[in-house]
Amino acid sequence: MTTPLRIDIVSDVMCPWCIIGYRQLSQALEAAGTEHEIHWHPFELNPQMPPEGQNTREHIIEKYGSTPEQSEQSRQQMKALGDDLGFDFRWTKDSRMHNTFNTHQLLHWAGTQGRKHDLKLALFAAHFTEQRNLSDDAVLADIAGEIGLDRAEAAAVLDDQRFANDVRGIEQFWQQQGITGVPAVVFDKKHLVTGAQGVDNYTSILSQLAEMRS
């Protein structure tokens, strides 16, 4: 009996390519019938982002030097990919980027309940599909409550920042491993794959890993 394939994913819920990459990987895993376990890890795309956040389009133009046309073209490309993968991107002219340090603390807490994966996917949907304000601790606590976690405990975790040092430590660990962009996927604690690779590439990677592990 082979042990499940360990998959570590370093990501941020502000990252559209992270949910695209995950959905692609998920399809490949399902098609291959690969027994696996997924472990999510924190990464902040914008650790200096102020509490009020920033308009997404303005942020992308400012950070990457994109023109408004390039930004719109990129959104359309990601929306088409999302549609194919069953994920609904619903950007508006008012969509915002948020600071995600508290989001990662809430995810860390959810991990102690065995629910990190569920919360991670709920947060992706809350941000990209529902356009909810993940800078707002009350919204984060609501989302935790909506998937069956204790809302009051979630609010307390965010209020007292009890997992702040843990999250900082994990972020630093992955930075020390050379992770500077996301998504970053590590298979079997040995094989790093960066970016959203597409279903076919992930299928090929899983096939190679299966041969190596057999």
Q: What is the number of other CB atoms lying within 10 angstroms of the CB of residue 160?
A: 10
Instruction: Please determine, for residue 158, whether its predicted confidence score (pLDDT) is greater than 60.
Output: yes
Average pLDDT (189-196) is: 96
The model's pTM is 0.96
Instruction: Please determine, for residue 60, whether its predicted confidence score (pLDDT) is greater than 90.
Output: no
Does an H or E element contain 185, and which?
strand 184-187
CB distance 62 to 30 below 8 Å: no
Instruction: Please determine, for residue 102, whether its predicted confidence score (pLDDT) is greater than 60.
Output: yes
Average pLDDT (37-46) is: 97
Eight-state DSSP code of residue 99 = -
CB distance 96 to 126 below 8 Å: no
Structure tokens at 49: 């982002």
Strand partners, 192: 186
Higher per-residue pLDDT: 132 or 68 = 132
pLDDT given at position 46: 92
Gap between the terminal Cα atoms of the chain: 10
- Which residue segments constitute the domains of the chain, with CATH numbers given? 5-49+99-213 (3.40.30.10), 54-97 (no CATH)
Dihedral of the CA atoms 67, 69, 70, 74 (nearest 10)? Answer: 140
pLDDT given at position 100: 97
pLDDT given at position 2: 75
pLDDT single digits (tens) 18-37: 999 999 999 999 999 999 99
Q: Is 207 helix (H, G, I), strand (E, B) or coil?
A: helix
Instruction: Please determine, for residue 1, whether its predicted confidence score (pLDDT) is greater than 70.
Output: no
Eight-state DSSP code of residue 49 = -
Strand partners, 97: 54
Mean pLDDT computed over every residue of the chain:
95
Place of tokens 């993968």: 85
Task: List phi, psi (to 5°) of 53.
Answer: 75, -165
